[in-house]
Amino acid sequence: MLTPIPPLDPPIARARRGLLPFLGLACGASVATIYYNQPLLAEISRAFHVSHGRGGTVAVATQLGYAAGILLFVPLGDVLERRKLILELFAAVSLALMAAYLAPSFWILVAASVAIGMAASVTHIMVPLAQELVGPGQSGRALGTVMTGLLLGVLLGRTASGAVSDVLGWRFVFLLAAASTAAFVPLLWWRLPVLPPAQRLSYGAALRSLWDLARGEPLLREASTIGSLAFASFIAFWTNVAFFLGSPHYRLGAAAAGSFGLLGAGGALIASPAGRLADRYGSRRILALALALMSLAYLILWVFGYHIAGLIAGVIALDIAQQSMQISNQSRIFTLSRAARSRLNTIYMILFFLGGALGSALSAVAWSRWQWTGVCAWGLVLSALAWLRNMYGARASGR
């Protein structure tokens, strides 16, 4: 069981509070690098004369690299001085993006994509810093501010990538991304304070402690279970929406499916208010409301999804629910221990993405057998299970 460590002294926190928007901007810039290649896959396939199926390996490689980076690099946030670590990883992601720009062959591009994903995991070293920049009782607001920047990076990364590619070609997307991430290196050095680890720990001990933390902290297990179930529910929609829009009912193409991603702005804009509500009313209460909204979103999609207005309403509700869930759920684990925040985040995010992979795989089976009804039923079951797990946790803890 972890012993909670109090946040930094309020006067120090107040002096650093102006860093929150900048930290959010940096998180957005780093996380966007793993999404730049998604709109480019068709062009990349043509450029290297490979099939679309093989071209998709670039996106898969980036995601696998990101998962590996979360496991291997994020725990370093509890071992090393974090400003230097963040600077080094930003420099690394810039170099990896430059390698993608210069890639002479497809498989070198794949290797560069793995490196991009691994270095981009710096995002999850920066996110826990939000709570060190504010005083007590403001952790949700701080996390919401930073997550707003992160979510806008996800949203705008794909949009900007497609726009630049249309004008300058796919390689220039990686060149401009390399320049923008390199520009953050001196900015981060200037704006971030020195951030030493809260305790002395070797890298090997940090990795070995992941299992002990997962086994010994009930709240971490609860939050990770809820997060993985909710993300599995969320990703079930996005895995199959292109199939649904391309079905005989809608007969819309990939461009229409991509435009639905712009509705994610609702989730980005709700992040900061959700954090403030979690501070005011308690994370568990906001979490319960978010999971209830997720279930409602799937009911809307199930009943009204065959009408474009109903589909849009369901998407907006689903995205707001997901981001509110993430803010309120993740803010709880960061209060457990300042000395282990990076490792706590490592455990949470690994299980979070495993949930997404499971949700994506099983929702594809649901689509193949029962079409849209199967997808909505699967998403509803997952969100309901997450809500029940939260209610069980509230009853067991008495709050």
Flag whether 258 is in a domain: yes
Same domain, 269 and 185: no
Helix (H) or strand (E) holding 275, with range, is: helix 265-281
Question: What is the predicted pLDDT for the residue at 186?
Answer: 94
Flag whether 325 is in a domain: yes
- Work out the average pLDDT over 68-83: 90
How do residues 305-320 score in pLDDT, each as one tens digit? 899 999 999 988 998 8
Identify which has the larger pLDDT, 278 or 52. 278
**Residue 259, both tokens:** 């435009």
Is 15 a residue whose pLDDT tops 50?
no
Whole-angstrom Cα distance, residue 312 to residue 319?
11
Same domain, 174 and 231: no
Same domain, 189 and 229: no
Same domain, 20 and 111: yes
- Work out the average pLDDT over 77-104: 94
CA neighbours within 13 Å on the CB side: how many for 292?
Answer: 7
Question: What is the predicted pLDDT for the residue at 11?
Answer: 36
Question: 41-48 and 57-72 are packed helices; what angle lies between their axes, rounded to 10 degrees?
Answer: 110
Overall domain count for the chain:
2
CA neighbours within 13 Å on the CB side: how many for 85?
Answer: 23
Band (101; pLDDT cuts 50, 70, 90): very high
Identify which has the larger pLDDT, 44 or 292. 292
Burial class (CB in 10 A: 0-12, 13-18, 19+), 83: middle
Same domain, 259 and 391: yes
Do 279 and 138 meet the contact criterion of CB atoms below 8 Å apart?
yes
Question: What percent of the chain has a predicted confidence (pLDDT) above 70?
Answer: 88
- Work out the average pLDDT over 5-9: 45
Do 16 and 140 meet the contact criterion of CB atoms below 8 Å apart?
no
What is the four-CA torsion angle of 390, 395, 396, 399, rounded to 10 degrees?
Answer: 90
Q: What is the CATH number of the domain that holds 259?
A: 1.20.1250.20
How do residues 161-185 score in pLDDT, each as one tens digit? 777 877 888 899 999 999 999 999 9
Domain range for 352 is 215-397
Flag whether 206 is in a domain: no
Band (200; pLDDT cuts 50, 70, 90): confident
118: nearest Cα among 181, 67, 60: 67
Identify which has the larger pLDDT, 339 or 82. 82
Same domain, 174 and 280: no
Question: What percent of the chain has a predicted confidence (pLDDT) above 90?
Answer: 34
How do residues 264-274 score in pLDDT, each as one tens digit? 666 667 767 77
Same domain, 302 and 339: yes
